[in-house]
Amino acid sequence: MKIKQFLSRWSRTIHRWVGLYFAVVIAIYLIEIIALPSAFSSGLPTVDGKPPTQTVAENTRSLLSLEQATHALISLQPEGINTLEDIDEIAYLPTLGVYRFENKKRLFEWYLDAHNGKLLKYGFNATDFLEYRGLLGWFAPWIHNLIEMSFLFFMSTLAVSGVYLFIYPFLVKKNSEMKSSVVVPGESPCDSQ
Report the percentage of the chain scoring pLDDT > 70.
88
pLDDT digits (tens, 9 = 90+) for 174-192: 777 777 765 556 665 555 4
Task: Report pTM.
Answer: 0.64
Are 122 and 165 contained in the same domain?
A: no
82 assigned to some structural domain: yes
Are 95 and 148 contained in the same domain?
A: no
Are 102 and 161 contained in the same domain?
A: no
pLDDT at 153: 92
Boundaries of domain holding 57: 46-133
Kindly state the helix (H) or strand (E) to which residue 33 belongs, with its residue range: helix 2-40
Q: Pairing relation of β-strands 46-47 and 119-125?
A: parallel
Whether 80 shows a pLDDT value over 80: the answer reads: no
pLDDT at 183: 55
Are 115 and 145 contained in the same domain?
A: no
Are 55 and 82 contained in the same domain?
A: yes
76 assigned to some structural domain: yes
182 assigned to some structural domain: no
Are 78 and 92 contained in the same domain?
A: yes
Are 10 and 23 contained in the same domain?
A: yes
DSSP state of 119: E
CB 63 within 8 A of CB 115: yes
> pLDDT-derived band of residue 38, with 50, 70 and 90 as boundaries?
confident
9 assigned to some structural domain: yes
CA angle 169, 11, 173 (to 5 degrees): 10
Are 71 and 24 contained in the same domain?
A: no
Are 57 and 89 contained in the same domain?
A: yes
pLDDT at 24: 92
Among 91-95, 141-145, 163-167, whose mean pLDDT is lowest? 163-167
Are 111 and 146 contained in the same domain?
A: no
- How many domains, the chain? 2
Distance CA 88, CA 82 (A): 13
* Average pLDDT of the chain, as a whole number: 82
CB-based contacts of 108: which residues, under 8 Å, 6+ apart? 42, 44, 80, 81, 86, 102, 122, 123, 124, 125
Which of 87, 105, 133 is at the close of a domain?
Answer: 133
Average pLDDT over residues 80-87: 81
183 assigned to some structural domain: no
Q: Give the type of residue at 174.
A: K
Are 32 and 52 contained in the same domain?
A: no
DSSP state of 163: H
Distance CA 120, CA 98 (A): 9
CB-based contacts of 77: which residues, under 8 Å, 6+ apart? none
Q: Give the type of residue at 131.
A: E
pLDDT at 14: 85
Q: Taking each helix axis as running N to C, give the angle between helix 2-40 and helix 126-133, from 0 to 180 degrees, rounded to the nearest 10.
A: 140
Among 55-69, 100-114, 153-167, 175-189, whose mean pLDDT is lowest? 175-189
pLDDT at 71: 87
DSSP reduced 3-state for 166:
helix
